[in-house]
Amino acid sequence: MEMILGTLDVLILRGLTWGPKHGYAVARWIEESSRGSLTVLDGALYTSLHRMEDRGWIAAEWGVSPLGRRAKFYRLTPPGRKQLQNETKEWTDYVAAIGRVLRTTAEPG
């Protein structure tokens, strides 16, 4: 399944809610939590990460990965957390609205 444009950001933000992650870990989290049904180009993921860092939603810091390698870890900032809440709400409202429409059985008129 292809990603709907603009939804990658919110997925990444969500992925960071359990604590700082490096880019690869975020990619793996998306793959696993969608059980492989969402395909994201890694390049797009990193672009999104850097953009959100620029916007101040996430902050980056160099650290050491569990396997002992130097890696860049991203964590949510308070504005990022707020952004995630808003986007999540918008998304669920949107899905609910679409769902309601699609589930309607009554003939209009």
Please give the residue ranges that form the binding site for another protein (CB under 8 A). 22-24, 27-28, 41-44, 46-47, 50-51, 53-54, 65, 69-72
Task: Compute CA 13 distance to the chain's CA centroid, rounded to the nearest angstrom.
Answer: 5
| Shortest spacing between CB 28 and another protein, in angstroms | 8
In the bound state with another protein, the residue whose beta carbon lies nearer, of 10 and 71, is 71
Q: Are 74 and 19 in contact (CB under 8 A)?
A: no
| Shortest spacing between CB 46 and another protein, in angstroms | 6
In the bound state with another protein, the residue whose beta carbon lies nearer, of 46 and 91, is 46
**What are 60's strand-pairing partners?**
74
**What are 21's strand-pairing partners?**
74
Other C-beta atoms lying within 10 Å of the C-beta of residue 81? 15
